[in-house]
A and B are shown apart, each in its own frame.
Chain A
């Protein structure tokens, strides 16, 4: 069973992914800020991280960089959810070490496709 970590501060968006993955075999772990996201990733060792770019306490980009820098978590693929706010967000996400990025608002169907591609359901 694959574990997915979703780091997002908005309750409704977390609920979407919870519902989306509810009917799959994935196990969902949630965190509501960057620091907690990094701590949870180290603890739970998920197979995939979905990281919102704008988070309290620590930005999604910084959290991504920290996970990539830590040998224990460096191998985990990360999908960065950008707000498509400014040009260069995607570039920054890639530089921070994201495996893929998705602009908000994303289609749940599209997100599920991306999850299945990066961490195939066993």
Chain B
């Protein structure tokens, strides 16, 4: 993707990122867009608190509500219990009052019976009943609320008076003064009974109306407790849902924004940035992602620049290579053209085209020709090396016959060997297959090695030996020359090297032949090496595939 196509984009939580759709999702979107929940979500996002604190706060809020609900319920239960106790007490008092009423009735009955029967025993049971009456009074007084105390006090006073009257009636009966007793009963006893009965009835009524109020209070408390509990439960549910919604969306939105943003970055749009309102871990994450994106963008730009530079450099190199190639071609031509004239004219003179050559200049003419040939050979070597260095050396791969190669070399160098008094021996097996390679270049290699061998050998022999070794051909050129010391063998195939600087003065040569030979052998996919012992002679060997791949080139 080209950088120009990348638009700067800001991924924001306000955008609806590409996310799963569904009914729940739609509702959530509507809530976020049109309800205060949306702004609440943003507010929660902006809170400078960690995710942990936010969750803890939300759970704590719900827990507080539940605790409040529990407390209210407990309070209601306590209130109901207290009112029930009051109700029980009131009921007890009503019971006691009714007992008093009942006892009073009994007392009245006993008194009447005693008066009718004039029976002292009955009087006794009346007193007994009076004692039970007192117990009831004690119970009633203990349980009575303050406003009832006065009534009870009056009851007690009236009862005491009744008891005094009854005692007097009993005394009169005991003295057989029945009529007086009857009078006393009617004048004092009976009205007192009536008074007590009235008081008791009033007390009972008061209690019963109090009980009614208490009952209503209990019901009201119960209803209120029900309402409060229900309200708290509903509030808890709403709060839990609301907080869950707000907190989860305050997390979901940045996560989705991050997802979108990372998808863009993955597509190579490094110039965008992510913008979330969160000041929690998600905010930190977003900032980190923006940093990452900037770094990636920087790296991408660096890499693009580097690639651009590399392309420019490559094209420069290609241009330089073309220039070098053109230069080599024109140099080759420019050098050969005068050489052509020098060698051509010399050859024509020597061949007598211009008439008989006087004997005294026959040798100089021949020398000019020999030196011209040497100069040409040097030029060829320098050009070959330049071509190899520039990567323009190409092999003209074709079929060749090894025997022809060896014979060409032998014919070319026979006269040199003869001049130096050396034997030039060749050993080529007759059953060698037809080979594939650049015959001219292989000839050049063998010529270089054999020429060197002849050059560095003063007496003895030079042997060219060829043998097949599986898929490879081994060419070996042995001499009985000066040899090469072990420390010089390592660098013998490098350019401009001869084993010894003094050697070139004694034997001549530029030191290019071996280097070119090595490179030509390597172009054929082969290798070259030397085995030597100073003073005894050297053997140069190279091995190349019998059939060289067609496209071999430098």
Contact = CB atoms under 8 A, between A and B. Distances in A.
B541 to A, nearest CB: 26
Interface string B305-348: 00000000000000000000100111011001111111111011
A30 to B, nearest CB: 15
A58 to B, nearest CB: 15
A104 B396 contact: no
B393 interface: yes
Contacts of A105: 336, 339-340, 342-344, 376
Contacts of B343: 105, 107
Q: Is the interface of A mostly helix, strand, loop or mixed?
A: loop
Contacts of B336: 83-84, 104-105
Q: Is the interface of B mostly helix, strand, loop or mixed?
A: helix
A90 B398 CA distance: 14
B392 interface: yes
Given A13-B340, A106-B344, A86 B353 contact: no
A86 B340 contact: no
A33 B109 CA distance: 173
Given A20-B353, A105-B336, A109-B351, A86 B325 contact: yes
Contacts of B54: none
A54 to B, nearest CB: 5
B406 interface: no
B387 interface: yes
Interface size class on chain A is 20 to 34
Nearest to A14: B341
A53 B334 CA distance: 12
Nearest to A23: B353
A98 to B, nearest CB: 16
Contacts of A10: 337-338, 340-341
B351 to A, nearest CB: 6
Interface in A61-115: 83-88, 90-91, 104-109
B395 interface: yes
Given A20-B348, A85-B383, A90-B396, 5 more contacts: A10-B337, A16-B348, A84-B332, A91-B396, A104-B339
8 contacts: A10-B337, A13-B337, A13-B344, A85-B333, A86-B328, A104-B340, A105-B376, A108-B344
